[in-house]
Amino acid sequence: MQADLLNQEGEKIGKVDLPDKVFSIALAPDFLHQTILYYQKLSRQPIAKTKDRSEVRGGGKKPWRQKGTGRARHGSIRSPIWRKGGITFGPRPEKKYKIELSKKSRRKALFMVLSQKFKEGEIIFIEKIRLLESKTKNFAKILKNLTKIKKDIDKKRTLFVLAQKEEHLLRAARNIENVSLVGINSLNPYILLENKYLIIEKEAIRQLKR
């Protein structure tokens, strides 16, 4: 399997070989859904918390004596059955949201999304991204050059997949709307699905084969 290889001026300079095990995987919606849930829950923080009766302020003194008042027995005004009392079985920050998913399954889901995006023509393969100066206008020019291939690429969410994460490229691209960069080692199916187009460096493809 092959695809066009471009330079950062948006010109075709040859072909690039694509591994079938990465770019020709059939889509399995249910499996992919489970994988996306894994990444969503991975980033979820257990911040919801209620106070139980031991944490609510006050209630140290018994409201009234045990017998002789004609009223029900109570030991604290911070009991859960009282207004402004502690909460029973409320959310606690100790709750774990993470679900288990094997590395093999996560990798399969990644290839599945890559295959689907390649099938839909949403991936551009580029030789290498080079900048002489770490300036936003220089990176924006690269994006503008790629509109020769995809006219709306500068208006849709676009992800640049780098063979190696480079700080000067991150600085140059961080102020461009709808553009994000990621190293190949940080790539996952959730990030891919958040973006319309992918720009993948040639060297990054070789790393995907491993």
Of 114, 85, 98, nearest to 20 (Cα)? Answer: 114
- Residue 139 buriedness (CB in 10 A; 0-12 / 13-18 / 19+): buried
Which string of b and e fits 85-109 if b means at least 16 CB within 10 Å? bbeeeeeeeeeeeeeebeeeeeebb
Q: How confident is the model at residue 206 (pLDDT cuts 50, 70, 90)?
A: confident
pLDDT score recorded for residue 208:
83
What share of the chain has pLDDT > 90, as a percent? 72
pLDDT > 70: percent of the chain: 100
- Judge whether residue 200 has pLDDT over 80: yes
Rounded to an integer, the average pLDDT of 95-114 is 90
For 174, other C-beta atoms within 10 Å of its C-beta total 12
Q: What pLDDT shows up at residue 42?
A: 85
Count the alpha carbons within 13 Å of 192 in the hemisphere toward its beta carbon. Answer: 26
Q: Global pTM?
A: 0.79
The domain tally of the chain equals 2
Section 92-102 average pLDDT: 86
Residue 156's nearest CA partner among 120, 185, 127 is 120
What is the model's pLDDT at position 26?
93
Distances (CA, A) of 45 to 42, 90, 94, 145, 201: 8, 16, 10, 40, 33
Instruction: Answer yes or no: do 137 and 35 share one domain.
Output: yes
Regarding whether 131 and 163 lie in a shared domain, the answer is yes
pLDDT in tens, 132-176: 888 999 999 999 999 989 899 989 999 999 988 888 899 999 989
**What pLDDT was estimated at residue 144?**
92
Q: Is residue 104 scored above 80 in pLDDT? A: yes
Residue 64 sits in which domain range?
48-96
pLDDT above 80 (res 210) = no
Q: 111 with 143, same domain?
A: yes
Assign residue 177 the CATH number of its domain.
3.40.1370.10
Residues 113 and 14 in one domain: yes
How much is the pLDDT for 133?
Answer: 86
d(CA 201, CA 204): 5
pLDDT per residue as tens digits for the range 4-16: 999 989 899 999 9
Residues 114 and 166 in one domain: yes
pLDDT in tens, 42-81: 888 888 999 999 999 988 899 999 999 999 999 999 999 9
Give yes or no: residues 110 and 171 share one domain. Answer: yes
Question: Is residue 164 domain-shared with residue 60, that is, in the same domain?
Answer: no
